[in-house]
Amino acid sequence: MSVATTVFSIGYSCYFILVFSHNVIQTLLYGK
């Protein structure tokens, strides 16, 4: 149970970081 929760938390964090990074890069490239 705890292992699955940990893996889910790590995966969700990585997904959030990827989406956030993509938005930042898109803003830097097309925002100017």
Q: What's the pLDDT tens digit per position in 1-32?
A: 799 999 999 999 999 999 999 999 999 999 86
Share of the chain above pLDDT 70, in %: 97
- Residue 8's pLDDT is 96
Q: For residue 21, what pLDDT is reported?
A: 98
Please state, in angstroms and rounded to a whole number, the distance separating the CA atoms of residues 31 and 12.
27
Backbone torsions φ then ψ of 31, nearest 5 degrees: -80, -20
Closest CA to 16 of 24, 28, 4: 24
pLDDT at 14: 98
Query: Which pLDDT does position 31 carry in this prediction?
Result: 83
Please give the model's pTM, rounded to 2 decimal places.
Answer: 0.61
Q: Side-chain half-sphere of 4: how many Cα atoms within 13 Å?
A: 1
Question: Using alpha carbons only, how large is the chain's radius of gyration in Å?
Answer: 14
DSSP 3-state assignment of 31?
coil
